[in-house]
Amino acid sequence: MTASRPSDAAPAKRRGRKPRASQDEIVRAAIDLLERDPHEPLTMARVAEGVGLAPMTLYRYFEDRDALMNAIARAVVEGRQPLQIPKGASWQDQVRAWMFGIRDNLVRYPQVLQLTATGGYQGWLVDGAELVAVLETVGEWPDDELARALFWVSTTTLGHVILEANKPERPATAALYTELGRLPDPAASEMARVIPELGRLRDEGFALAVELTIAALEGMLPGTADA
C-alpha cells in the first residue's frame, strides 16, 4: 500500500475566527474619543471606526447606543480613583474632597454627564454610597434628612459640573454688555455692576458652590434643628 502524501491528508479543521475586539476594548476606544472630542456626538459609527469594525458589527457587542453609553458611564465611574481623604480630616474636608473628586473625574465627559442627569445611568449610587458614608460620620441622620443631604450635595455637584463641562472657551462678557442695552434702567445699571464679577466666577464658581453646599449641610446636621 502506498503511503498517503501530505497533500492527500484530510484538511485540518479551521478554528473559528477570534473576535477582532472585546467589549472592554470598544468601551476604551469610545472613552478615548470622548476625551479627544468631548462635544462631538458619540455615534456607533465613530466608535466602530475607532476599533476597526463595521458599524453593524458593534451591535453584536451592544444592543444599542444606550447600552454602549451605559457601559462607558460605568467604566468612567469605576475608573475614578478612590477618594483621598487625609487622616483625621473633618467631615467638611471630606465633602470637599468628594465634590472636587467627582468634578475632576466627570468634567471631561459631558455626554456621560448628560446620561447621568437624565436618569439613563444609575451607577452614580457607587459615588452616592461614598458620600453617605462621609455624612454618617457626623451623627445619626433620620432617613429623610439623609436623603435630602445626599440629594442636595449630589445634584449641586452634578449641575455645576455640567455647566463647567459645557462652558465656552471664552466668557461672553462682550455679549453681556451688548445685551444690557435691552434692559430698562435701573436694571441695566445694576447688572453692569455684577458682569465683571460673573467673569471671575466663571472660573471660581465651583469652589463657591462647594462652600455654600457645606454651609447648607451645617444647618442640616442631626440635632441642629433642636439646638
Choose between 10 and 168: higher pLDDT: 168
Q: How far is CA 65 from CA 26, 110, 116, 186, in A?
A: 12, 16, 15, 51
Domains 23-78 and 91-218 share a fold: no
Q: What's the pLDDT tens digit per position in 160-191?
A: 988 888 887 777 788 888 888 899 988 999 99
Cell output for 139: 451623627
As a whole-number percent, the residues of the chain with pLDDT over 90 amount to: 41
Choose between 3 and 53: higher pLDDT: 53
Write down the mean pLDDT value for the chain.
84
160 C-beta neighbours (distance < 10 Å), count: 20
Contact 222, 139 (CB under 8 A): yes
16-29 burial, b for 16+ CB within 10 Å, e for fewer? eeeeebeeebbbbb
pLDDT band, residue 26 (cuts 50/70/90): very high
Asked: is 91-218 a CATH 1.50.10.10 domain? The reply is no
Instruction: Give the residue extent of every domain in the chain.
Output: 23-78, 91-218
Cell output for 95: 465633602
Residue-level pLDDT at 83: 65
Residue-level pLDDT at 17: 44
State how far the Cα of 177 lies from the Cα of 191, in Å rounded to an integer: 9
- Name, in order, each residue with C-beta under 8 angstroms of 60's C-beta and a sequence gap of 6 or more: none
pLDDT band, residue 85 (cuts 50/70/90): low
**So what CATH class is 23-78?**
mainly alpha
Q: What's the pLDDT tens digit per position in 88-123?
A: 799 999 999 999 988 988 888 888 887 777 776 676
Cell output for 103: 468634578
Max Cα-Cα span within the chain: 112
State how far the Cα of 106 lies from the Cα of 116, in Å rounded to an integer: 10
- Whole-structure pTM value: 0.76
Residue-level pLDDT at 21: 76
State how far the Cα of 111 lies from the Cα of 14, in Å rounded to an integer: 43
Q: What is the mean pLDDT of residues 49-54?
A: 91
Q: Which parts of 168-219 fold into alpha helices (H)?
A: 173-180, 187-218
Residue-level pLDDT at 16: 42
